[in-house]
Structure 1
Amino acid sequence: MEYFPVLVLLISFIGLLAIGVPVAWSISISALLTMLVSIPFLPATTTLAQRMGVGLDSFALLAIPFFILAGNLMNKGGMAHRLIAFAKTLVGALPGGLALINITAAMLMGAIAGSAMASASAMGSILGPEMEKEGYSKEFGAAVNITSATTGLIIPPSNILIVYSLASGGVSIAALFLAGYIPGILAGVFLMIVAMIWAKKKGYTGHAKKGDSGILAIVKTFVDAFPSLLLLVIVIGGIVAGIFTATEASAIAVLYSLILGFVYKEISFKTLPNILLDSSVTTAMVLLLIAASIGMSWAISYENIPQATSDVLLGISDNVIVVLLIINAILLFVGIFMDITPAVLIFTPIFLPVVTKLGIDPIHFGIIMIFNLCIGLCTPPVGSVLFVGVGVAKTSIQKVIKPLLPLFLAMIAALLLITYVSQLTLWLPSLFDV
């Protein structure tokens, strides 16, 4: 009987997803069914509704719609073109130059916009046709774009790091933001190594043309991209220095992006309503998922599922290496079937008590979890970044799988390194004492 709520939760959730029920509804209904194990129907429905409403009543969560809007403004405001031009001067001359440009530009875009889907859309639409002209296969270009776009969820500012802070009970957002830099850059470097090996194997050359490389070209493109890159300094610098909170920083990011879009003449009063509408739709989808996941998290806690999970995992082994390996394997599997936001909200309260008992820092575990679930965004059947990347490239998932596999292995290798070398995540937070 102790594990009956777990069975109800898993069977109902997987069953609802299998018959095509939307994820948010699947989460809510399975949470309700789990609560009905020990609570009558009327109190269960009332409690679930209350928890969903109260869960969204958070000042920290205000940062999410602001960062979504800021990301859309950046995407439409001409920043992507300038970041790609800057990336060309840095890595364009290397083997597989266009693939490396994609990865570098995605990291820069992620460091500013914090959106994997925005990055995949922008980089794919701009660099995809250019890669085809240079002889790259459409599928390889899509695979590089899909995997590199996820670095934007690890490199701050990142909405999902804010969600983890909420789910973990208040881990410092500033510390999480700083902790994401080295793992995000490491992921990019691992992807670059694989892209270069693949490019050499396939005979893809560099992309440097006359005047595209050298100190003068780097300085010129850097100056052009500097206003976009300055946003990173303002947002992260302000949070770390304690000048403003992450929520206030997100509002500043919107204002700065809007002004820059008008300065670049890429945004006008005519295009602004569509940007606001797109941002509102995305925000509504994300917050519905968050509300449903918060409801499920409460149901999970009420039924003592975290304690049961902790007992099972620690019963298998109390060795940190083994437990982290098991958790990583579970999260990799979960990421295949569940979007990153509900996965973080649901599994953080389950796994965090286990790892804290073993002495693992919650900041370190947060980066492990998010890095792990980023891989799931690139996998079928629910990988949102995969679908965006394939759609932009006008190809199919079946054709992209083969070039994706070595890039997946690179991400998993980076994940294992980050998992077992905690200083890769904790060094910067400790350096700035946040």
Structure 2
Amino acid sequence: MVITEVLILVLSFIILLGIGLPIAWSIGLSGLLTLLVSIDTIPAFTTLAQRMGTGLDSFTLLAIPFFILAGQLINKGGLAQRLIKLAKDLMGSLPGGLAHVNIVAAMLFGAIAGSAVAAASAIGSILGPRMEKEGYSKEFSAAVNITSSTTGLLIPPSNILIIYSLASGGVSIAALFLAGYLPGILTGLTLMIVAAFWAKKKDFPVGERTKLAEVAKSFVKAFPALLLLIIVIGGIIAGIFTATEASAIAVVYTLILGFMYRELTLKELPQVFLESVKTTSIVMLLIAASIAMSWVMSFEEIPQNVTEALLSLSDNKVVILLMINVILLFVGTFMDMTPAVLIFTPIFLPIVMELGIEPVHFGIIMILNLSIGLCTPPVGTILFVGVGVAKTTIVKVIKPLLPLFIAMIVALMVITYFPQISLWLPDLFGF
């Protein structure tokens, strides 16, 4: 019976997605069709609607609209230019200097904004033309921008880590935020190594070394933006406020900063709020549909059966983690990150916990893995944003993207099999 339900769930989802139905509707309808196998029509409809409603009734989820709004304010408030200037002064003299600037700026901006899309559009639109002007190919610039934008999903504050906390049944958000730092930095460093080799091979230009006084000046200008990370993360770790309260503080702080920098005006605020509402509504519909599907799978005992099936193949931690990574890499190519986390966390988390793997460590593995999917067709959100900003095509970007893509997979393997990279900071702070 379970095999029938799994087939209905998977096939209906693929077919609905294939005919062009939005992913939230595809998830919701495939969940409904699966539920109709077990219960009558009216109870199935009401139960699914109920689960969607109650799934969103969460204090933790309130952090997401606030962080989305903070990201919009950061994007409009002139923070990107200051962070790029700081990154350029620090990294511009290295081989492939502007590529490193892009990566470091994306790590800083993505961490502060908490959004890979915001990082890709903001950094790409500012640095892309500059890189092209200095002799870098448009496709290489786009490839660097696409892959580096995902690092902000690991470096906190990150909405997707909050969603994983919800999907996992309450893993500490503070622990997840701390766990994301070193893997995020490691991923950025692997991208920088590949970018340096590629730049040297193609003989891309190197910038002049910036004087220490100029670096200090750039740091002072960018410091108020960087201070946001200290306020938000420091407050959560110290127990002064929750992640949801921190997100509200981030909105107030970025609003003040935008006015202080004179990059944001009262006239622009309604448009900023409107963009935030649009993004929030899309994310929340995805979350509601994914939570409903997750409940359907639990009701049909699909996670338990998947756990038994995988553990019957092997009880070797290395093999199981490799299989899960391969499955998630495949899933990430056609499913957005939010529903993937909400749907697959309840399936895979019991398996890895059975093998003694920490939920915090697995969360970082899952987020990094699915971040790679954002850079790949056919549903790679960041791929499309990066290509659009660079005004090029996916076909042209694939060649310079492949080495960077491989670098991200190498980082994923290292983080998967060396758990202390993720767990050292949470352990240090007692989480």
- Partner SS for 1:169: coil
- Whether the 8 Å CA contact 2:387–2:393 is kept in 1: the answer is yes
TM-score by length of 1: 0.99
Counterpart in the other structure of 2:349 = 352
Alignment equivalent of 2:300, drawn from 298, 303, 313:
303
Counterpart in the other structure of 1:149 = 149
- The 1-side partners of 2:299 and 2:102 are apart by 45
- Which AA in structure 2 matches 1:230? L
CA-CA distance at 1:205 after TM superposition: 2.0
Counterpart in the other structure of 1:123 = 123
- The 1-side partners of 2:275 and 2:195 are apart by 33
- The 2-side partners of 1:404 and 1:214 are apart by 33
- Whether the 8 Å CA contact 1:94–1:205 is kept in 2: the answer is no
- Which AA in structure 1 matches 2:112? I
Matched, 1:30 2:1: no
CA-CA distance at 1:121 after TM superposition: 0.4
- 4+ long deviations beyond 2 Å: none
Matched, 1:414 2:411: yes
- Which AA in structure 2 matches 1:290? I
- The 2-side partners of 1:274 and 1:380 are apart by 31
CA-CA distance at 1:155 after TM superposition: 0.4
- Which AA in structure 1 matches 2:186? L
Matches within 5 A, 1:79-90: 79-90=79-90
Which stretch shifts more, 64-73 or 37-46?
A: 37-46
Q: Which runs of 5+ in 2 are unaligned?
A: none
CA-to-partner distance for each residue in 1:255-313, whole Å, 9 max, x for gaps? Answer: 00000000000000111111110010000000000000000000000000001100111
Counterpart in the other structure of 1:44 = 44
CA-to-partner distance for each residue in 1:234-255, whole Å, 9 max, x for gaps? Answer: 0000000000000000000000
Matched, 1:231 2:244: no
Matched, 1:260 2:257: yes
- Whether the 8 Å CA contact 2:2–2:300 is kept in 1: the answer is no
CA-CA distance at 1:395 after TM superposition: 0.5
- Partner SS for 2:267: coil
- Partner SS for 1:3: helix
CA-CA distance at 1:338 after TM superposition: 0.2
- Which AA in structure 2 matches 1:227? P
- The 2-side partners of 1:390 and 1:88 are apart by 23
CA-CA distance at 1:207 after TM superposition: 2.1
Q: Which runs of 5+ in 1 are unaligned?
A: none
Counterpart in the other structure of 2:10 = 10
Matches within 5 A, 1:150-169: 150-169=150-169
- The 2-side partners of 1:164 and 1:200 are apart by 39
- The 2-side partners of 1:206 and 1:426 are apart by 37
CA-to-partner distance for each residue in 1:89-108, whole Å, 9 max, x for gaps? Answer: 11100010000000000001
- The 2-side partners of 1:120 and 1:293 are apart by 25
- Which AA in structure 2 matches 1:92? G
Counterpart in the other structure of 1:76 = 76
Matches within 5 A, 1:419-434: 419-434=416-431
- The 1-side partners of 2:320 and 2:301 are apart by 20
Counterpart in the other structure of 1:109 = 109
- The 1-side partners of 2:101 and 2:22 are apart by 36
- The 2-side partners of 1:37 and 1:317 are apart by 31
- The 2-side partners of 1:248 and 1:375 are apart by 30
- Which AA in structure 2 matches 1:378? C
- The 2-side partners of 1:72 and 1:206 are apart by 33
CA-to-partner distance for each residue in 1:34-56, whole Å, 9 max, x for gaps? Answer: 11111111111111000000000
- Whether the 8 Å CA contact 1:336–1:380 is kept in 2: the answer is yes
- Whether the 8 Å CA contact 1:239–1:246 is kept in 2: the answer is yes
- Which AA in structure 1 matches 2:71? G
Matches within 5 A, 1:155-194: 155-194=155-194
- Whether the 8 Å CA contact 2:71–2:113 is kept in 1: the answer is yes
Size of the aligned set, in residue pairs, is 431
- The 2-side partners of 1:416 and 1:328 are apart by 9
Counterpart in the other structure of 1:379 = 376
Matched, 1:54 2:54: yes
CA-to-partner distance for each residue in 1:391-417, whole Å, 9 max, x for gaps? Answer: 110011111111110000000000000
CA-CA distance at 1:218 after TM superposition: 1.5
- Which AA in structure 1 matches 2:416? T
- The 1-side partners of 2:75 and 2:178 are apart by 24
CA-to-partner distance for each residue in 1:340-394, whole Å, 9 max, x for gaps? Answer: 0000000000000000000000000000000000000011111111111111100
TM-score by length of 2: 0.99
- Whether the 8 Å CA contact 2:135–2:205 is kept in 1: the answer is no
- The 2-side partners of 1:176 and 1:183 are apart by 11
- Which AA in structure 1 matches 2:346? P
- The 2-side partners of 1:2 and 1:17 are apart by 22
- Whether the 8 Å CA contact 2:116–2:149 is kept in 1: the answer is yes
Counterpart in the other structure of 1:331 = 328
- Partner SS for 2:315: coil
- Which AA in structure 1 matches 2:125? S
Counterpart in the other structure of 2:360 = 363
- Whether the 8 Å CA contact 2:332–2:372 is kept in 1: the answer is yes
CA-CA distance at 1:2 after TM superposition: 3.0
CA-CA distance at 1:214 after TM superposition: 2.9
CA-to-partner distance for each residue in 1:35-84, whole Å, 9 max, x for gaps? Answer: 11111111111110000000000000000000000001001100000000
Matches within 5 A, 1:382-393: 382-393=379-390
Matches within 5 A, 1:239-250: 239-250=236-247
- Which AA in structure 1 matches 2:393? S
- Which AA in structure 1 matches 2:427? S
- The 1-side partners of 2:264 and 2:157 are apart by 22
- Whether the 8 Å CA contact 1:79–1:225 is kept in 2: the answer is yes
CA-to-partner distance for each residue in 1:167-221, whole Å, 9 max, x for gaps? Answer: 000000000000000000000000000000000000012123xxx6132121111
Percent of pairs with identical residues: 71
Counterpart in the other structure of 1:66 = 66
